[in-house]
Amino acid sequence: MVYKVGDVENLMKGPIDARRFYNSEKAIVAKITLQPGAVLEKHSSKEFALLFVLSGCVEVEIGDNVYDLEKDSLIEFPENILHSVTNKTSEVAEVLVVKIK
């Protein structure tokens, strides 16, 4: 089966566009677009997750650690750890998030 980002609605409003285009008992996949200055506030997830930067640059905070990621960078999020994603640049940033159940 083929899944397309454009086939699903945006889950958020404002400067962040989040589209969960795959959701099964094994994984969740979402594409998130962050406009300049956008902040995906601190939150945690019960699943292990990976974030891959498709375009632009983002700042990722995981617990007490801060990472600056650019295009083609990958970072992992442990379960139940607070994390946030911020676009501090003047360009749009796009990331792919994969949560493994």
pTM confidence score: 0.94
Q: Is the residue at 1 inside a domain?
A: no
DSSP state letter for 4: -
Q: Is the residue at 4 inside a domain?
A: no
Q: What is the CATH number of the domain that holds 83?
A: 2.60.120.10
Q: Is the residue at 2 inside a domain?
A: no
Range of the domain at 80: 10-100
Tokens representing 101 are: 């159940």
Number of domains in the chain: 1
Q: Is the residue at 78 inside a domain?
A: yes
Amino acid occupying residue 81: I
Per-residue confidence in pLDDT tens, the chain, 101 aa:
999 998 999 999 899 999 999 999 999 999 999 999 999 999 999 999 999 999 999 999 999 999 999 999 999 999 999 999 999 999 999 999 999 99
Residues in contact with 30: Cβ distance below 8 Å, sequence separation at least 6, in sequence order: 11, 18, 19, 20, 21, 96, 97
